[in-house]
Structure 1
Amino acid sequence: MFDNLHRWLILRLAAVWLVLSVLIGGLVHYFGNARLDNHVVNMAETEAANYSAEFTTYLGFPSGQTLALLNRKIHDIFDRGNFIVVEFYDAGSNKIAEVVKPSAKAVETRLPKHTSDFARKGGVRRQKMMVGNETYLRVFVPINSRTGTKLGYMEGIYHAPEEIITQIKRQTLWSLILLVLVIFVTSLSLYPLIIRLNRKLIDYSHILAQANIGMLEVLGSAIAKRDSDTNIHNYRVTIYSVRLGEKLGLSNTAMQGLIKGAFLHDVGKIAITDSILLKSGKLTDEEFEIMKTHVRHGEDIVCSYDWLKDAVDVVRCHHEKFDGSGYLGGLTAEAIPLNARIFAVADVFDALTSRRPYKKPFSFDVSTGIIRESRGTHFDPAIADLFLEHAASFYEELCREDEGLLRGKLGACIRKYFG
């Protein structure tokens, strides 16, 4: 069980680590790219502001002398900066000055063209472009007077410095690696904590299971004391049912319901008066109708407690018969729950081979003969045949054991199927 838990937990923590790494890593990558874009824009706008200041000075006093001064100053800025193309236009979109780096012509042919709307829109405009692994920014800066009148504009292509791009990308990558490691370490640190908490939960569950099983035995003992003054029938019929269920390959969950139902099959007899329950002679028809209600009483009892609800199949249907002649529902064939069909064979066989106040025990041969004759009427033929195939070994194991040994065998069954 713990091996399965470890495997399950490792797979779940790995899945959580992977999902969180992808989701949060995606956010880190997104914000890293946004930071890179903002940094490039800020650098481009800062450099563009130097050009705008010189151009604004020229537009204030346009002349051949100030134009020559403008060209000299913008060449100085251009040589030291990262713009590869800078163009200056007056308010009528007439080009006044231009500076171009030798590499610009090869780059310009590969850049997407922009429409005239790019220059006509108000405010500073930017357009990011990629050429291979290189990042470029087309920038439009309007030049306005203090009154807001358009004096002209500057347009340029900014080449983002590769070292800056590389540095920011490296920082983003390290942030991503650190994040993935933090998530991994956090997931890893949760592993022993979850295991420890699970062990405590299993301990508490075991205590609760023991309490439930103790309650099961108390209920079974209470009805046994009223009915036959011994637990031995409950022990034996439950173990017969378990052995038959094992031969049928029932799941652990089904076996749990079978054990509970077999041990509490007659719990409804608590509601039957002593005058009927303990009567040594044959019951009258009226008394038998009252006796049959123990099935309904038993169903009410086990359904009132969640842990016992899987016992209801046996408690409600253990007197049903394969041909529909049983009670209370008159169910037939596979309409009768499987656990009830299993228990019916075990219950009748134990009743036949046991001493009762009103009868001596039948021999093994007589008892198996009655089971064989009742296949298809009282019993499911397939289950009856399987029981008869192993009846000798079941009988040898259980029929002559005393109450203490039978209780020990039942305890082993409970440990096996209830953990």
Structure 2
Amino acid sequence: MIFNSAVENRPILKFFARIFFILVLVLIIGFSAVYYYLEQQNGKYISHQIELSQKELAGALTYSNLNANEKLKGYFEHSRNQIVASNILKLEMRDQNQTVIIEYEKKAVPEHAQYVFQTILLPPSKSLDYVMIPYGDNHFALVYIKKIASLDNYYTVKMIVMLPSDTISVMRDTMRKIIIAVSLILLLVVIGIFPIIYQQYAQINKEKMKLVQSNFETLKTLGNAVALRDSDTYEHNYRVTYYTIKLAQALNVPSEHIPSLIKGAFLHDIGKIGISDTLLLKPSKLNADEFTSIQKHVVFGLKMIDSIDWLDDAKTIIGCHHERYDGKGYPHHLAGEEIPYSARIFAVVDVFDALTSKRPYKFAISLDESLAILREESGTHFDPNIVDVFCDIARSIYDDVHNLDILSFEALLLQSGEPYIPYGESIITKGIG
């Protein structure tokens, strides 16, 4: 089996994360709606208080002659009890020339309220502005400034109005009840629909995992078939895949890009199915014509997977792992960074495994000799940066697999590769046209 329960649970954890994000988003939207509603209600209440506090005073603005200010003063003195309700703490009225017409202060106003009263200004485009401030224990006061127009003049009124404590309590209770109600509704909705969504998601994810597993099982079978044709065991594919994963990790290749390396490593020589056994199993060195013929396995491999979309990201390794950093490789004679990064990675591990493994035409050479050859061909055959990183980890990963029996090796490979299997298509490389 390619997958275990930990791998299968990873998408489910992502599902929970998505649900949590959606829930938080819904709560934010819900509370924003509640806040907007309460602000609307609060605005209506404040507008009502402002209207009440200046109703009598506005009624006096029926004057249109030059003595209007004096008459307003007289009206205020005569009708003070009607104009100044019990909850008005401070009042100031100015004409359009900012001349003070009326001043009234019921009792000493706290310093912070006095400061707000003195500094509040009317924006040019508005006829009203206000601030609600704390005023003693569990009390609030409203400081506002308003423009009142008469026939040929306008006046600016500023007031500090004490808000009834019972009204504030009602507003707080209303806010608390609405927030609790919205929270309960959202919780009930989530509790109700979550099992249904989760069940459907789990089923879809299960089918998806089966499909991906089937694809990777097919991938492994194809790779092993090629390795067996090349007079080798499938341990070669296991080794180069394991080396590729470890080198990619050391190079900090993003996790979502590693599946393309795994696919390419398993299928890098799939085109050898189209090469005759005479060439593949020849125990001596190939001549020029034979070498040209065996090079065609790259083209054959690309044609074999051309119609399989799931393997598109393996084309870079299949088609370019015989390119050389100096441009003297095949089949496209690419050089340097023209060679896809995945192919440059795989070229190092493929040659390393070839050097340290027995083949029909050669004996295995030692680890130290193999690393010396890689360093010698750094910058000509291989990307120097990749060689440097690989040489740092080569002894460790070589020891990991050297002398392992096949079952232990398979378990090690699956343990290394399973974190990357569920990821989607890779974007580390570009396909070959």
State the TM-score bracket (shorter-chain normalisation): 0.5 to 0.7
8 Å CA contact 2:302–2:319 kept in 1: the answer is: yes
Cα distance in 2 for partners of 1:386, 1:39 equals 75
Contact 2:285–2:361, Cα closer than 8 Å, also in 1: no
1:28 equivalent in structure 2: 37
Deviations 1:40-62 (A, max 9, x none): 89999xxxxxxxxxxxxxxxxxx
- Which is further off, 408-417 or 390-399? 390-399
**CA distance 1:290–1:185, change in 2 (3 Å):** farther
The correspondence for 1:17, drawn from 5, 23, 27, is: 27
Deviation at 1:326, TM superposition (A): 0.8
**Separation of aligned partners in 1, 2:143 and 2:376:** 92
Alpha-carbon contact 1:320-1:329 (below 8 Å) kept: yes
What's the offset of the Cα at 1:136?
12
User: d(CA) in 2 for partners of 1:297 and 1:190?
Assistant: 57
Amino acid at match of 2:256: T
What letter matches 2:339 in structure 1?
I
Q: Which residue of 2 is the match for residue 215 of structure 1?
A: 218
| Deviation for aligned residue 1:319 | 0.6
Match of 1:102 among 50, 74, 81: 81
Q: Tell me, in whole angstroms, the C-alpha distance in 2 between the residues paired with 1:103 and 1:43.
A: 11
Q: Which moved more, 1:408-417 or 1:127-136?
A: 127-136
**Is it true that 1:257 corresponds to 2:260 in the alignment?**
yes
In our comparison, the structure showing a higher alpha carbon Rg is 1
- Asked if 2 retains the 8 angstrom alpha-carbon contact of 1:28 and 1:172, the reply is no
Structure 2 partner of 1:322: 325
- Measured after TM superposition, the shift of residue 325 of structure 1 is 0.9
Q: Which residue pairs with 1:274 in the alignment?
A: 276
Shift of 1:395: 3.8
Correspondences of 1:74-223 after superposition (within 5 Å): 100=79, 102-104=81-83, 110=92, 133=142, 173-186=172-185, 188=187, 193=194, 196=198, 203-223=206-226
The amino acid across from 1:133 in the alignment is L
Provide the residue aligned with 2:106 in structure 1: none
d(CA) in 2 for partners of 1:377, 1:88: 96
C-alpha distance in structure 1 between counterparts of 2:90 and 2:384, whole Å: 90
Report the counterpart of residue 366 of structure 2 in structure 1: 364
- Tell me, in whole angstroms, the C-alpha distance in 2 between the residues paired with 1:385 and 1:404: 31
**Counterpart of 1:133 in 2: which secondary structure?**
strand
Tell me, yes or no, if the aligned pair for 1:317 and 1:328 is still in contact at 8 Å. yes
Q: Distance in 1 between matches of 2:179 and 2:402?
A: 65
Are the aligned partners of 1:322 and 1:336 in contact in 2 as well (CA < 8 Å)? yes
- The one-letter code matched in structure 2 to 1:268 is G
Q: Retained in 2: the 8 A contact 1:85–1:104?
A: no
Counterpart residue number, 1:376: 379
Counterpart amino acid of residue 322 in structure 2 = H
Amino acid corresponding to residue 27 of structure 2 in structure 1: W
- TM-score, length-scaled by structure 1: 0.62
Report the residue type matching 1:339 in the other structure: S
Secondary structure of 2:265's counterpart equals: helix
Q: Are positions 1:292 and 2:286 aligned together?
A: no
Counterparts of 1:391 and 1:39, CA distance in 2: 81
| Matched residue, 1:232 | 235
Seq. identity, %: 31
Q: Are 1:415 and 2:430 counterparts? A: no
The 3 A distance-change label for structure 1 pair 84 and 342 is closer
Q: Deviations over 1:93-116 (max 9, x none)?
A: xx9xx99452427999735769xx
Deviation at 1:222, TM superposition (A): 3.7
Corresponding pairs, count: 351
| 3-state SS, counterpart of residue 81 of structure 2 | coil
* Residue 206 of structure 1: how far off its partner (Å): 3.5
Contact 2:279 2:290 (C-alpha < 8 Å) held by counterparts = no
Contact preservation (8 Å) 2:295, 2:330? yes
- 1:410–1:112 distance in 2 versus 1, CA, 3 Å: same
Report the Cα offset of residue 8 of structure 1.
7.3
1:278 deviation in Å? 4.2
SS in 1 for 2:220: helix
For CA contacts below 8 A with separation 6 or more, give which structure has more relative contact order: 2
Change (3 A) 1:173 1:235: same
Alignment-mate amino acid for residue 347 of structure 2: A
8 A Cα contact 1:261 1:311, kept in partner: yes
2:65 corresponds in structure 1 to none
Structure 2: stretches of 5+ with no match in the other structure = 1-9, 63-70, 97-126, 132-140, 150-158, 423-433
Measured on the aligned residues, the alpha-carbon RMSD in Å equals: 5.0
What SS does structure 2 have at the residue aligned with 1:377? coil
Q: Tell me how far apart the structure 1 counterparts of residues 396 and 128 of structure 2 sit (CA, whole Å).
A: 86
| 1:370–1:101 Cα change, 3 Å | closer
Contact kept? 2:245, 2:417, Cα under 8 Å? no
SS of 1:110's equivalent?
strand
- CA shift, 1:293, in A, is 3.8
Equivalent-residue separation in structure 1 for 2:285 and 2:319 (angstroms) = 23
Q: Pick closer, same or farther for the CA change 1:347–1:108 going to 2, 3 Å.
A: closer
> In the aligned structure 1, how far is the partner of 2:185 from the partner of 2:309?
38
Q: Secondary structure at the match of 2:418?
A: helix
Return the match for 1:342 from 323, 340, 345: 345
Q: 2: CA distance between counterparts of 1:335 and 1:266?
A: 21
Supply the distance in 1 between the matched residues of 2:316 and 2:289 (Cα, whole angstroms).
Answer: 26
Contact 1:341 1:379 in 2 (8 A): yes
Using the alignment, how far apart are the partners of 1:397 and 1:109 within structure 2? 87
1:359 counterpart letter in structure 2: Y
- Alignment TM-score, normalising by the size of structure 2: 0.60
- Paired with 1:261 and 1:378, the residues of 2 have a C-alpha distance of 19
Distance 1:88 1:393 in 2: 94
Whole-angstrom distance in 2 between the partners of 1:39 and 1:315: 78
Q: 2: CA distance between counterparts of 1:234 and 1:389?
A: 22
8 Å Cα contact 1:266-1:294 kept in structure 2: yes
SS of the residue 2:420 aligns to:
helix
